[in-house]
Amino acid sequence: MTRRGLDRIASYADGVGLCKDVMIPRDAAGNLTAPTDVIRNAKPRGTRRAWLDVPAGEPVLPASVRSSTNPNAAGDLAGEIRVFLAAGMDGFFTDNPDLGVAAAG
């Protein structure tokens, strides 16, 4: 996800679907850290940045948006989406469209 790599992608694609951890990694405790350069570097190349969401279950969410220790509980997926949108992500795919609409609202 270097600038050179993004230039190559921009030559044939309108966007990239990135792993969430490539855009905003997590620390050892599972908390989101600072956004990487990939979000910022894709924009001037006209490349949209998006990520594919997995279900809103607790084990897959960052620690900061989990609602409990119950692995079957729904966490704050909308909160996670808002963090990524604020970091410059253009769009997302989600298995939970109601939560995605609420987050993008």
Nearest to 52 by CA among 9, 76, 22, 86: 22
Global pTM reads 0.80
Q: How far is the C-alpha of 82 from the C-alpha of 105, rounded, in Å?
A: 10
Residue 88 pLDDT exceeds 80: yes
Render pLDDT for 75-86 as a digit per residue (tens, 0 to 9). 788 888 888 889
